[in-house]
Amino acid sequence: MGRWGDSEVEVLRSHDPAILRSYDINMYAIIATGGKQYRVSEKDEIMIERLKGAVGDKMAFDKVLMIGDTDGLKIGRPYVEGAAVEGEILEQGREPKILVLKKKKRKGYKKQQGHRQCFTEVKINKISV
């Protein structure tokens, strides 16, 4: 079932600050980058679409869609004003190769192509409101 029982999960869904404090739930944010959305907390390491920068560079994500903590939720329209998520680039790399194969039966047509997606690994250092 997980860490919490059924009744406790229902209470957590209500985002009651007193209940959330008792379960020691950390602050989290939902950020938008590279056309995708990511749920991040402090000290998380995430792999996102490639961004410019070298290993060790600091970066800030200002497109924060939502912030949740023990005080409740702050939802942006479309972004939360004054909110930022700061991170550090850990790695610039490429994922393993995948093969793309196109074939038409009985026509003698076959085409094979490989693809390696670029990524940036980021460690989230701070979430500020």
Q: Which residue has the tokens 């026509």?
A: 107
- For residue 82, the one-letter residue type is G
Tens digits of per-residue pLDDT, 90-122? 999 999 999 999 999 999 999 999 999 999 999
Which residues lie closer than 8 Å to 10 by C-beta, 6 or more apart?
none
The side-by-side arrangement of strands in the sheet containing 36-41 is 36-41, 28-33, 64-69, 72-75
Task: Determine the average pLDDT of the residues in 32-56.
Answer: 93
Tens digits of per-residue pLDDT, 56-73? 999 999 999 999 887 788
pLDDT exceeds 80 at position 37: yes
